[in-house]
Structure 1
Amino acid sequence: MTEYALEVDGLSKTFAGKPAVRNVSFKARKGDITGFLGPNGAGKTTTLRMSLGVITPDQGSVTLFGGAPTAMSMDRVGFLPEERGVYRKMTAEAVIVFFARLKGLSAGEARRRALIYLERFGLKDAATKKIKELSKGMAQKIQIISAIIHEPDFIILDEPFSGLDPVNQAMLEQVIREQAEAGRTVLFSTHVMEHAERLCDRIILMARGQKVFDGRVDEALARVPRQVTLGAAAGSDLASVIADLGEVETLEADPDGAINLHLTLKTGVDAQDVLRACVQAGVPLTRFEPRRPHLHDAFVALVGEDAVETVSEEA
């Protein structure tokens, strides 16, 4: 029995002569939360659609739960598409029940679960309201519920945090964690690195239609040069002490003449090496601030500034 919910091999797709996805391969391990990350236009949505058979790839293959995708295996998948769209004249409860019935739930069980999820998502009072009467964020939560109402083994969410306020983004993060804790596989795409850094077991980074990284979050962060900001009293020999440990940048001096330096560490050098060198040289530090790298930094390091204009650090 395969350990992967989804395996894609060499997917490529061209639209009007322009490559949208080029030779993308990856696997989503069962029970993991995998982030599918990259700027807008990186090929994330096209790849997800090919993975689900919504779009036919020009090249490549897809394996779902160890075999070719079928109607039966697709019933084990929950999908939130990037384009939001629910039936605006139906009530919130009716929409959720409708999608649950499509996935094989009985009418009674579908309604029971719908009411539980509506309350869980803070929408109990909206159950009998029509979708057209709800805010954009509320309607999006209805669609998220519809994607997970049948408790699928594999959940694919395309930009699920888009349009939600910070409170509801935090709530959705908790829902995603709960799905993984229940043994379900979650794959979500986003251009907001902060969500992925908090949630993911593994990440796949996309840029210009190609995969540029596939691995654990800590492995991606290891690609980022470490940085330290240091300060010392006026007249100290700080710059020469740390010169061999990395690239030194002088920051704005304090009014009293104190020295402030920013150091990008060489490969193999860590912050403790810098502190040790200063202590051994007798340089009294007034400031020592190692900077923890973030996933956004890793993306910049991997693909360059020109590919990350639409990638966000925060929601």
Structure 2
Amino acid sequence: METMLAVEGLGKSFKDKQIIRNISFEVKKGEIMALLGPNGAGKSTTIRNIMGIMYPDAGSITFHNSKNKEIPRNKIGYLPEERGLYKNVNVMDILLYLAELKDYPKNRAKERALEYLKKFGLEGKDKVAVEELSKGMGQKVQFIASILHEPELLILDEPFSGLDPVSQELFKEEIRSLAEGGTAILLSSHQMNLVEEMADRLFLIHRGTKVIYGTLSEVKREYANFKCTINGVNSRSLLEGLPEVERVEQNGEIAVLYLSRNVQPAVWLKNLPAELDIQELSIDRISLHEIFIDIATDKNLLKEAGEAHA
């Protein structure tokens, strides 16, 4: 796939504190790339450097193989984490104004704005002042503003924050549709379940440096060990004594067994002892949420592995 955004060796410091160091990743046409990390990891600094809100001390940012230092703003859509729309301006006027800043044709912008307002359940709200909208409605308007001009690269910073489940589904559907249409999407979110559901690749940073970079399947295969959940009346000592079990989390009759890295699930299941009480059993790899928590809290409960963890 064609590379739309290439970040190479990015570094940024404030006074004597280095916020990000040697950050490198790509966002390709038609993919959803997740930029992840705990608070203070350097995600916002990275995004602000890409957007030209601030400039890096080291490294380069290239858009679509362009030789220019400045990324063309009319080719990028940006939904910031800190929402901000002119409150006393009506919805249509603010959308057309923001589209005009991107040199997008007014007639086409109005046509698309009406389509999106209808799609997001805001039909008839085009003449309503932004300040009269609910928080969720305002977020929908800002999302529409970020995609109205048909950007080639879309940067979404916490797009699902504060949305109800129905609105989350609408956003997810639209983000997927945009990616399928060729838009390169850089998605930053703390909602790991949504990231795991949507992202093609992910880049996770902690304390300003790369921790994980790869496709979701690569990360799962290289980093996420298997876990087995058993519902039954079993003693902790029995569970901890099972082969290839590295640790056990038990809550009543529900036990989660975290297995060693090289375990073969089919073989392991065949060798479970007959005295084990199993009412229900499931086995899968640990979730992206669990990987994130492990890294963010420095628990080091998981095993480092290959290029996915560096």
Per the normalisation by structure 1, the TM-score is 0.85
Shift of 1:199: 0.6
Partner of 1:156: 155
> Which residue of the other structure, out of 263, 286, 292, is the alignment partner of 1:293?
286
Output the CA distance in 2 between the equivalents of 1:116 and 1:239: 57
Partner of 2:307: none
Q: Look up the SS of the partner of 1:126 in the other structure.
A: coil
Query: Which amino acid in the other structure matches residue 91 of structure 1?
Result: N
Shift of 1:98: 1.1
Shift of 1:268: 1.5
The answer to whether the 8 A contact 2:63-2:71 is kept is: no
Asked if 1:271 is matched to 2:270, the reply is no
Partner of 1:94: 93
Shift of 1:69: 4.7
Structure 1 gaps of 5+ residues are: 255-259, 309-315
Q: Look up the SS of the partner of 2:268 in the other structure.
A: helix
Shift of 1:176: 0.2
Partner of 1:312: none
Shift of 1:262: 4.5
Shift of 1:99: 1.3
The answer to whether the 8 A contact 1:232-1:283 is kept is: no
Q: Look up the SS of the partner of 1:244 in the other structure.
A: coil
Q: Look up the SS of the partner of 1:99 in the other structure.
A: helix
Partner of 1:127: 126
Output the CA distance in 2 between the equivalents of 1:286 and 1:246: 16
Shift of 1:36: 0.7
Change (3 A) 1:89 1:71: farther
CA RMSD of aligned residues (A): 2.7
Output the CA distance in 1 between the equivalents of 2:81 and 2:46: 12
Partner of 2:297: 305
Partner of 1:55: 54
Q: Look up the SS of the partner of 1:123 in the other structure.
A: coil
Partner of 2:104: 105
Query: Which amino acid in the other structure matches residue 265 of structure 2?
Result: A
Q: Look up the SS of the partner of 1:141 in the other structure.
A: helix
Q: Look up the SS of the partner of 2:224 in the other structure.
A: coil
Change (3 A) 1:307 1:69: farther
Q: Look up the SS of the partner of 2:124 in the other structure.
A: helix
| CA deviation profile, 1:33-77 (whole Å, cap 9, x unmatched) | 111111222111110111122211011111111024566833111
Query: Which amino acid in the other structure matches residue 287 of structure 2?
Result: H
Partner of 1:313: none
Output the CA distance in 2 between the equivalents of 1:233 and 1:113: 58
Q: What is the correspondence of 1:97-246 to structure 2 with a 5 Å cutoff? A: 97-222=96-221, 223-230=223-230, 243-246=242-245
Shift of 1:16: 3.0
The answer to whether the 8 A contact 1:226-1:270 is kept is: no
The answer to whether the 8 A contact 1:228-1:271 is kept is: no
Asked if 1:65 is matched to 2:75, the reply is no
Shift of 1:91: 0.5
| CA deviation profile, 1:231-289 (whole Å, cap 9, x unmatched) | 67889x9659x6332236484777xxxxx8653212211332222113xx655652433
Aligned length: 297
Query: Which amino acid in the other structure matches residue 9 of structure 1?
Result: E
Change (3 A) 1:109 1:72: farther
Output the CA distance in 1 between the equivalents of 2:58 and 2:111: 43
Change (3 A) 1:261 1:134: closer
Structure 2 gaps of 5+ residues are: 301-310
Change (3 A) 1:100 1:231: closer
Q: Look up the SS of the partner of 1:243 in the other structure.
A: coil
Partner of 2:32: 33
Aligned sequence identity (%): 37
Partner of 2:303: none
Output the CA distance in 2 between the equivalents of 1:181 and 1:49: 26
Output the CA distance in 2 between the equivalents of 1:143 and 1:52: 17
| CA deviation profile, 1:217-238 (whole Å, cap 9, x unmatched) | 1222231221224467889x96
Change (3 A) 1:189 1:304: closer
Output the CA distance in 1 between the equivalents of 2:127 and 2:239: 68
